[in-house]
Amino acid sequence: MRRTILILPALLYFFLMSVTVTAQEDQRFTKANELYTQGKFEEAAKAYEEILKTGVESPELYYNLGNAYYKSGLLPQAILNYERAKLLAPQDKDIEYNLELAQSQTIDKIDKVGEFFLKAWIKALRNKADSDTWAYMSIAFFVLVIAMLFLFYFSRTATLKKAGFFAGFLFLFLFIFSFSFAHLQKQKLVKRNYAIIFAPTVNVKSSPDASGTEIFVLHEGTKVKVIDELGEWRKIELSDGNRGWINVSTIEII
């Protein structure tokens, strides 16, 4: 009993502290939003950045920060934060629209390599939800698989057994489908191998060396995929398949 009496105040203390921290975060977010609506975009961006420094992340936070940078005329920073918001909420149409709007104003116009229609369709379907949503769906389908197994084994009629058997296979397929999507969406968050060019102009080299041959030029705001690294150099790949080396100081990882 004495332990319980001691534990309860401690639990109450941590609960109140968590509520207080959340309230403070909400107040900072509200204050940053007020600065934005007042047209103080640079101050709003700083306020949003301060929230991020506390370890708080959300698609709304990155989206608003992207808007503040966009209004401030800082295109690479806007694109970077729209991309980060999209990672957390790939299904959000507002984020997608603003990202495409910002990207349309970059200098580099790079065509994408053609993608097999089935792969493109699956990718679009996967982006209909974030990793957490797909994970919850996979759990729900797994529970339904178990339920159908019980129906198959314990039902007394052939009709119910058949229903449990075929429904079980359907839910098993949906479980594997949603679980794999949850895993792939999670990997996008963990393995961040895309970056945004932040330097006004970057000379892409044929080798990881300052004296390497310049093969093409990129400009700020362009999205690249990092496929290799060597010291301060990163090998990048564009959506059209072109590859080369650039200095790590010229990019910011999404």
Query: How far is residue 249's CA from residue 254's CA, in Å, rounded to a whole number?
Result: 14
- For the cut 90, the answer to whether the pLDDT of residue 16 exceeds it is no
Please say whether the beta carbons of 224 and 194 come within 8 A: yes
Distances (CA, A) of 145 to 44, 126, 131, 135, 164: 49, 22, 21, 15, 9
Within a domain: 157: yes
Q: What is the pLDDT of residues 221-249, one digit of tens each?
A: 999 999 999 999 999 999 999 999 999 99
Does residue 67 share a domain with residue 90? yes
Q: For residue 243, what are the β-bridge partners?
A: 237
In this structure, is residue 210 part of a structural domain?
yes
pTM of the model: 0.81
Number of domains in the chain: 3
With respect to residue 108, please indicate whether it lies within any of the assigned structural domains: no
Render pLDDT for 37-88 as a digit per residue (tens, 0 to 9): 999 999 999 999 999 999 889 999 999 999 999 999 999 999 999 999 999 9
Say what percent of the chain tops pLDDT 90. Answer: 76
What is the H or E stretch that residue 201 is in? strand 201-205
Is the residue at 236 inside a domain? Answer: yes
Neighbours of 234 (CB within 10 A): 23
